[in-house]
Amino acid sequence: MSPTSVLTADIVKVGQSRPVRAKTAGQRRYVEAIAEHVITFALGPAGTGKSWLAVAMAVQALHAKRVNRIILTRPAVEAGERLGFLPGDLMAKIDPYLRPLYDALHDMVGAENAQKYLERNVVEVAPLAFMRGRTLNNSFIILDEAQNTTPEQMKMFLTRIGFGSRVVVTGDTTQVDVADGRSGLVGLERVLTGIEGLTFVHLDYNDVVRHKIVADIVAAYERVGNQASARLRSERRRG
């Protein structure tokens, strides 16, 4: 694929809405990975389009009738406020965790169509705990913020996948909020590498499509992280 077509091919366009396109070479690799694999893991910092492009690919698959429904899920991890102290019933308490997925869906298909999809259960938005005990066939399933799953939750989720389904798991391993840092995403690539139909895509600050300052902030954190890792390796060699 030529450099021009990499960044101009539409992923999805609904009605009069603006077409969704990959904006970097890394994002294009991500989109192609989703198209070619049953399960795609996308690891990278905020602003790289992990969730946005996953929802776009899900809408594309739904409109092409390759799947019958879209399932959007996230772990509901307490980060600052405790769920028990938030007002409302269970769905009201977890709504803030799921709101970014609602927003992406609205941007792809419009608020009216999104509401119709939700009412008809063509699109389901639910916390990860609601996936237990289910088998998800003929679905496009997106697990967002997967760094905040526990290892047990990640195994549970990955074993829900049924026939005719496609899965995208997104996360940023530098932003783990799960208790004791026991992330189901950290180290998972070593465990699953070599499984046919499954791939990992790594995005970095070069793929950030928000304000330039966001890319600069991400790059600064990456430099500090790389320096710390280098010091740790050096200390281990000396020890």
Residue 6 lies inside a defined structural domain of this protein: no
Range of the domain at 237: 210-239
Statement to judge: residues 181 and 228 lie in one domain: no
The answer to whether residues 153 and 62 belong to one domain is yes
> Counting every residue, how long is the chain?
239
User: Quick check: is 4 in a domain?
Assistant: no
Domains identified in the chain, total number: 2
pLDDT score recorded for residue 141: 97
| Buried b / exposed e along 72-99 (16+ C-beta atoms within 10 A) | bbbbbbeeeeeeeeeeeeeeebbbebbe
> What CATH number is given to the structural domain containing 200?
3.40.50.300
Question: Looking at the structure, do residues 123 and 75 belong to the same domain, yes or no?
Answer: yes
Report in angstroms the alpha-carbon separations of 195 from 113, 154, 198, 213: 37, 16, 6, 38
Residues 157 and 229 in one domain: no
Alpha-carbon distance 139 to 166, whole Å?
6
Helix axes 50-63, 90-109, angle to 10 degrees: 70
Same domain, 230 and 171: no
Quick check: is 3 in a domain? no
- Looking at the fold, whether 41 and 145 belong to one and the same domain comes out as yes
**216 lies in the same domain as 142:** no
pLDDT for residue 1 = 43
Same domain, 139 and 228: no
Would you write out the chain's pLDDT as a tens digit for each of its 239 residues?
444 444 456 676 655 566 788 889 999 999 999 999 999 999 999 889 999 999 999 999 999 999 999 999 988 764 433 445 444 555 555 667 678 888 888 888 888 998 999 899 999 988 888 898 899 999 999 999 999 999 999 999 999 999 999 999 999 998 888 878 889 999 999 999 999 999 999 999 888 876 667 667 767 876 776 676 566 666 666 66
Same domain, 195 and 219: no
Does one domain contain both 85 and 132?
Answer: yes
pTM score over 0.75: yes
- Cα–Cα distances (Å) from 187 to 44, 151, 173, 176, 183, in that order, read 14, 10, 10, 13, 9
- Say whether both 92 and 187 belong to one domain: yes
Same domain for 81 and 103?
yes
